[in-house]
Structure 1
């Protein structure tokens, strides 16, 4: 791959199990300092930012589009959970694909907008040669990158916004910090719709208000819901939300393995508060999300501000972007079935599969609207117990300061790929470690 750095050949041919065995959190980068204690050390080298290709590889490995999913459910039961047929580098429950990546470096703060991108064919990047795969990855990176503002994101600089043990090295010069944000509103609405299908018809109850039906009393009287399949709202939301937040961990693990193949330092971490990172306090701008303060009408709830979206870029399916939750549910349902009508499907006989799929009935759709409106009217937010837009894990990537590890660690703290990184990836930059054995 002559037009790319030599290190890329090593990266794309890297042994998977070597990457797994070598995966470690390597936190000390060029230009960093530990100011006291037995590991006290100040880097003698200036920070060096990641190149465009390095960032593109990390972004695609974390949340990149590959091709079209198999979606090999029985069409008559389960396939209607799918929001679309896009295959990414990580698994995604129901293929909702409402986790988007934001990142910041020395030059600016960006969103990688992927939720409106669709694969062109079944095999996608898998069918291309190695060099054309990289061409496509870089092309997709450039097409999807939206600059939010110049310069680094104004992230928290003290607890509780960020844990004390992360203050010394997070978001420092030369680093690239990747922040996946998940739209839990869309994910949870999709699952409510799924659990209103004839095989389920769950009887959701509000355990904070005497186990009362969440706007569904009339549906219970009609016998439309399965009274014996009772599920508390908190249990439902946490179960649903955890399934989708897991996408951020999958992304982080993919990126952590990619760091090994690239010879970079960095790590996956969660020692921060989402509200602070997204910009929900007056102390730091964060990623500049819009927040609302819930108006609680029930006996209990969480009054803290919650992130609902990044205007004109990525927003939740809830007010203020919709007049009420009924309109939000309708919008998500319309989006889902528009995806089905417009996306390429993986099957040889897509028409036959489509004929087997029943869309939600008016009754099923109305039950979900009633539940979601109840949640919003009672708790002043949707979801009630999870933030609509939520950031749980982040990944930082940087160039390692090998001298620190030589000073305090036995041989093996970093790999040959790390040692040779500048020679392989940045031949135009003076290699600070060229004299190492």
Structure 2
């Protein structure tokens, strides 16, 4: 009998929950088990003690952010009128995840915070074929393989500093408390920023946009040569500020919603909110003097240049020294957990661009691995796709190099109009709900999932 076949087990109940009912009953339940609610005449005092999530409960939540199998390149690779090849190899990876991603960039990483420590959740490949990914053994083993323990404690600011800019208003009373588990997402934008630029540059002739810099008087963004020779259309002007994050930031919000629905299906309390603000939590130099290094991201602070006065309205004064700093990576015990495609991680932006290209089309690159596409396609269709679908032309790569080099040389960082690592400013907290509080005050405070959770999961 499989681990989840027992009718009374919490895992069995979770796997049998209908999506429609979970969607319909999804509600924020902020109050964790064991916590009081000071609210005037509606105040509530808990008689319970906090109960942390079990390792299996957390493993299910980790699985809700992870890889699930291989995606399909179900797209045309020829122009329907001319028959010319079109770019149909935009993906950065082929491993699919529980939420979608532009060009399957999969740039979102999670941190998990609980009573035992603060963890980075590394990307794992999809489960091997033939293994039940929802068995208790598989869930627990994959969760342990994904977790990198950064701290042996729950990361937080000192008790007396639980106000802005660390926490917002009433959030500080119930957020990131003992017994709760928190998931905090960040998104590496740099990889897809380069990949997305190249995809823009593969548009049909006369439809390739001329990128301009709205932070530098709308001048060509390293594209003057390419406008003059007709590779880019001077009449289709695209500001770098409009390109912004290449939509890659959407990944995190989709994954957080998946986490929220998973907490509901488990019968837990779930709460998406802004808690420790990202610059504080990530260790931005502007806040290290007050809060310390926190998660300890690697930051770059561009040197001030005279034109920054006009481009970014900054001055060469101490107070503005780190105003344009941004995170470019995360290293733990010598391992680069996140390494953005930009200096100082690479000697130049040309090298960073070439690394992205090589990861797709170089020896050992994604689109040179026939075995992946044999697992995706039936018969020899994978080989046909690899043989017939186009790769980047050299002009596309060279133009992308020029744009990225321009951004870094002009603004002292890459990207300039958004961060290399974006934090949406939200996290999801999962906890056992304070049942009596919801029963006492609200007409529809709990579902049967919440009422039965403790007996199913913690008998």
Whole-Å separation in 2 of the counterparts to 1:20 and 1:55: 21
Q: Corresponding residue for 1:33? A: 36
Please tell me whether the aligned partners of residues 275 and 307 of structure 1 are also in contact (alpha carbons under 8 angstroms): no
Q: Corresponding residue for 1:310? A: 330
Q: Corresponding residue for 2:53? A: 50
3-state SS in 2 of match to 1:204: strand
Please tell me whether the aligned partners of residues 439 and 446 of structure 2 are also in contact (alpha carbons under 8 angstroms): no
1:197-255: per-residue Cα shift (whole Å, max 9, x none)?
142432100122221101111121111212222101101114x1xx2211111111111
Q: Corresponding residue for 2:320? A: none
* 2:71 is the alignment partner of 1:69: yes
One of 342, 350, 368 as aligned partner of 1:341: 368
Q: Corresponding residue for 2:241? A: 234
Distance 1:334 1:38, change over 3 A: farther
One of 166, 181, 186 as aligned partner of 2:191: 186
Please tell me whether the aligned partners of residues 205 and 233 of structure 1 are also in contact (alpha carbons under 8 angstroms): yes
1:281-312: per-residue Cα shift (whole Å, max 9, x none)?
21334322111212244432373321111022
3-state SS in 2 of match to 1:313: strand
Q: Corresponding residue for 1:323? A: 347
Q: Structure 2: any 5+ residue segments left out of the alignment? A: 79-85, 315-322
Number of aligned residues: 415
TM-score by length of 2: 0.85
Q: Corresponding residue for 1:201? A: 208
1:18-75: per-residue Cα shift (whole Å, max 9, x none)?
10111000000023233343443332222111111101111111x2111111220113
* 2:296 is the alignment partner of 1:288: yes
1:392-426: per-residue Cα shift (whole Å, max 9, x none)?
1311101111121123222x211111111111001
Please tell me whether the aligned partners of residues 14 and 265 of structure 2 are also in contact (alpha carbons under 8 angstroms): yes
Q: More displaced, 142-151 or 281-290?
A: 281-290
Q: Structure 1: any 5+ residue segments left out of the alignment? A: 428-437
Distance 1:94 1:424, change over 3 A: same
TM-score by length of 1: 0.89
Please tell me whether the aligned partners of residues 296 and 379 of structure 1 are also in contact (alpha carbons under 8 angstroms): no
Q: More displaced, 264-273 or 96-105?
A: 264-273
Whole-Å separation in 1 of the counterparts to 2:41 and 2:329: 44
Whole-Å separation in 1 of the counterparts to 2:274 and 2:87: 33
Distance 1:226 1:356, change over 3 A: farther
Whole-Å separation in 2 of the counterparts to 1:367 and 1:130: 43
Alignment of 1:168-187 (within 5 A): 168-187=173-192
Whole-Å separation in 2 of the counterparts to 1:150 and 1:232: 45
1:335-383: per-residue Cα shift (whole Å, max 9, x none)?
2331222361212221110112332233211211111121122222211
1:109-154: per-residue Cα shift (whole Å, max 9, x none)?
111110xx33367xx5xx765754x543333222111111201113
Q: Corresponding residue for 1:407? A: 440
Distance 1:264 1:193, change over 3 A: same
Please tell me whether the aligned partners of residues 110 and 184 of structure 2 are also in contact (alpha carbons under 8 angstroms): yes
3-state SS in 1 of match to 2:428: strand
3-state SS in 2 of match to 1:304: coil
Whole-Å separation in 1 of the counterparts to 2:45 and 2:209: 59
Q: Corresponding residue for 1:431? A: none
Please tell me whether the aligned partners of residues 33 and 432 of structure 2 are also in contact (alpha carbons under 8 angstroms): yes
Alignment of 1:7-406 (within 5 A): 7-61=10-64, 63-76=65-78, 77-114=86-123, 117-119=124-126, 124=129, 132=135, 134-154=136-156, 157-199=162-204, 200-238=207-245, 240=246, 243-270=247-274, 273-280=277-284, 281-282=287-288, 283-284=290-291, 285-297=293-305, 298=307, 299-301=310-312, 303-311=323-331, 312-337=336-361, 338-342=365-369, 344-345=372-373, 346-348=376-378, 349-392=381-424, 393-406=426-439
Post-superposition offset of 1:81 = 1.3
3-state SS in 1 of match to 2:372: coil
